[in-house]
Structure 1
């Protein structure tokens, strides 16, 4: 194996993000040996649930900040 791609949907996107960070921290040479090509997440709640955010966060997100 010389290259790797990641794709995750919803919670899978969060899990793969954690997994990539874990591998990078515990085995830094991994991505020197195996080249990452794509990192794709679909419908992943990186900012959490919108109804759980305070009002000022909702306001900022509406303006794309």
Structure 2
């Protein structure tokens, strides 16, 4: 194998290793985000409920 091919092979291995680590990091981040959403779902639903009531109040005619 020539020196040029060895350098390309080494460079390819480094790029693929970086890609695999990046992909693994992204999967781990998605798992953490899904876990946070599941754990915090009650709080999120409470905020959504408050927001819906606020939007509802915006469209209700005001009583004088």
Same-fold status (TM-score > 0.5): no
Q: Which has the higher helix share?
A: 2
Structure of larger gyration radius: 2
Which structure dedicates a bigger proportion of its chain to strand? 1
Q: Which has the higher contact order (CA 8 A, sep 6+)?
A: 1
Q: TM-score, normalised by structure 2?
A: 0.30
TM-score, normalised to structure 1, is 0.30
